[in-house]
Copies of this chain bind each other. A is one copy, B any other.
Amino acid sequence: MGDVAWIAVDWGTSHLRAWLMGRDSTVLDRRSSADGMGGLDRNGFEPALRALVGDALPVPVLACGMVGSRQGWAEAPYATVPCAAPTIHTAVSVPGTDLDVRVLPGVKQDNPADVMRGEETQIAGFIARNPGFDGIICLPGTHTKWVHTSAGEIVSFRTAMTGEMFALLSQQSVLRHSMGQGWDAEAFATGVDQTLSRPETLAASLFSLRAEGLLTALPGDAARARLSGLLIGAELASMRPYWLGQAVALVGAKALSAAYATALSAQGVPTQMADAEDMTLAGLTAAYAQLQGEAA
């Protein structure tokens, strides 16, 4: 391992990821732990960070994500749309530690009320990697964000809790008895079509997955894929002003982004994909480069 110049950190509710960075933005090492901010009190952050990357400290640390929330290590107040992606100059230095740790702020929208923490850094990374990009970025995940960007700024955004709804319904509701572990592309498409064209049918459609499991032995893979399709179709119906007539950049985990790409392409919407972790690192790197006066 070469000389570590700084450490990039993605610190969310349930994960802590760190990249040990060389002077020329090369990644020397990548590490992660389960010490998400959700399980830490204020005194737990420094030990968690030291446990993961203590051998490389002290070097500057730049972090994004829920670590900057009110319940995090240090609150980094939201920037308000329309605004540029976060810069190192708006980062908050964590007080009460000998370490040089800075946290990038999240972004809020006053009306309709919405917030993000972490995704703004992925957006910054995507824009840094795709200079001149102008348009819609969708970040599928637990809380999927739909973001309108223009001239390097976040103009507006909305959040759908589709990922969390899918997890709750497929793992904890009565539907869990009907779920497989696999996938059925046709069942997914059927679900998307239904709620995208008739979003009012969602409420009456979910329990059918259970009933069909009991009465017609609906395969578990089809049930799981149709549930995903019904929820994503309802999300697309809700977010139509974002994607209609647009191209959409999907920034997320591969399988989930692919599901969104399939659903959007059935509506004639072209998509491109980028990995969420890659974009987080790109965003942190772009912000750190501002500090160095280097090109990103």
Contacts and interface: CB of A to CB of B under 8 A. Distances in A.
A158 B212 CA distance: 13
Interface stretch (A29-37, A51-59, A123-131, A164-172): A164-172
A161 interface: yes
Contact of A173 (B161, B173, B204, B211): B161
B215 A113 contact: yes
Interface of A: 108-110, 112-115, 143, 158-162, 164-165, 168-169, 172-175, 199-208, 210-212, 214-216, 231, 234-235, 237-240
B240 A162 contact: no
10 contacts: A113-B212, A114-B207, A115-B211, A143-B207, A159-B208, A161-B174, A164-B173, A199-B200, A200-B237, A200-B240
A208 B114 contact: yes
A239 B205 CA distance: 11
Given A212-B113, A215-B108, A235 B203 contact: yes
A82 to B, nearest CB: 16
Contact of A203 (B112, B114, B200, B237): B237
